[in-house]
Amino acid sequence: MRTLIEVFASCSTLLAAALAVIVVSQRRAAHALTKLACTDPLTGLSNRREFMRALDAEISRASRTGRPFAVVLLDVDGLKLINDRYGHRAGDRAIKRVANALRVSRRAMDVAGRIGGDEFAVLLPESDHASAWLFLERMRALLAGHRRAGSIIISAGVAQHPRDGHGVDALIDHADAALYAEKRRHAHAAHITPASMPRIKREGQRSPA
């Protein structure tokens, strides 16, 4: 009888351990799926849905505390031309460089997302217009041209809550209008040359002999 009890106890222990492993695996799988649903696959930043969720939550928080925050919209000038002249891998490389500059420039509390093809957004809690432009200056310094990777030019617009709007749509529209105003100012100053492009062979292009 004692032997049967010991065998039963041993089996119960093994079953409990197996169930624990299954539960942990399921939790990890659920976490991975949740992360995939919230993440842009090319850059690893938040996707549009997750960014808008974070912005809506920040509006609710700021409405309670009365503390300002800023929203930055930015995009890559001339990305279509990069894709047309040098291939989509070069365009993807430019997008990844902007994403990396966002990661390096932001604080732990900031939320950065890719919300369109070449469009990015940044949520800066406890920040005003001036702080947002300091953030952009840091980004632009990182994207400035150097010998190997060349330069990437971005246009940007800033909206501050509640000065420029109270809701998600109002803030996004204000920042978007400011972005396109800056893009028009850049129109005659932006120079896209082979020297400033990522050094990548166009798809189907043969290497020089």
pLDDT of residue 76 exceeding 70, the answer is: yes
Torsion angle of C-alpha atoms 66, 70, 71, 75, degrees rounded to 10? 180
Residue 109 lies in a domain: yes
For the chain, the domain total comes to 2
Please report, for the domain that includes residue 57, its CATH number. 3.30.70.270
Distance CA 133, CA 116 (A): 22
Verify that 8 and 96 share a domain, yes or no: no
Pairing mode of beta strands 111-114, 119-125: antiparallel
pLDDT of residue 64 exceeding 50, the answer is: yes
pLDDT, one tens digit per residue, over 140-186 is: 999 986 555 668 899 999 999 999 999 999 999 999 999 999 988 87
Verify that 29 and 69 share a domain, yes or no: no
Verify that 72 and 16 share a domain, yes or no: no
User: How would residue 84 be classed by pLDDT, with cut points 50, 70 and 90?
Assistant: confident
Q: Which residues pair with 70 in a beta bridge?
A: 124, 160
The answer to whether residues 122 and 112 touch, using CB atoms and an 8 Å cutoff, is: yes
Verify that 32 and 105 share a domain, yes or no: no
Verify that 14 and 66 share a domain, yes or no: no
Better pLDDT: 202 or 60: 60
The answer to whether residues 151 and 98 touch, using CB atoms and an 8 Å cutoff, is: no
Verify that 7 and 110 share a domain, yes or no: no
So which residues are the catalytic ones? 118
| Neighbour-count burial of 59, counting CB atoms closer than 10 A to its CB (0-12 exposed, 13-18 middle, 19+ buried) | buried
Residue 205 lies in a domain: no
Residue 32 lies in a domain: yes
Mean pLDDT of 60-75: 96
Q: Average per-residue pLDDT in the chain?
A: 82
Q: What percent of the chain has pLDDT over 90?
A: 58
DSSP one-letter code for 202: P
| Distance, first Cα to last Cα, the chain | 84
Residue 84 lies in a domain: yes
Tell me which residue range forms the domain holding 123.
48-196
Verify that 34 and 69 share a domain, yes or no: no
Radius of gyration, alpha carbons of the chain:
24
pLDDT, one tens digit per residue, over 9-42 is: 666 676 666 666 666 555 654 444 455 579 999 9
Distance CA 59, CA 66 (A): 10
Verify that 59 and 150 share a domain, yes or no: yes
DSSP one-letter code for 51: H
Residue 43 lies in a domain: no
Looking at beta carbons, which pairs linking 136-142 to residues 24 or more positions away fall under 8 Å?
136/72, 136/74, 138/104, 138/105, 139/74, 139/98, 139/101, 139/102, 139/105, 142/100, 142/101, 142/104, 142/105
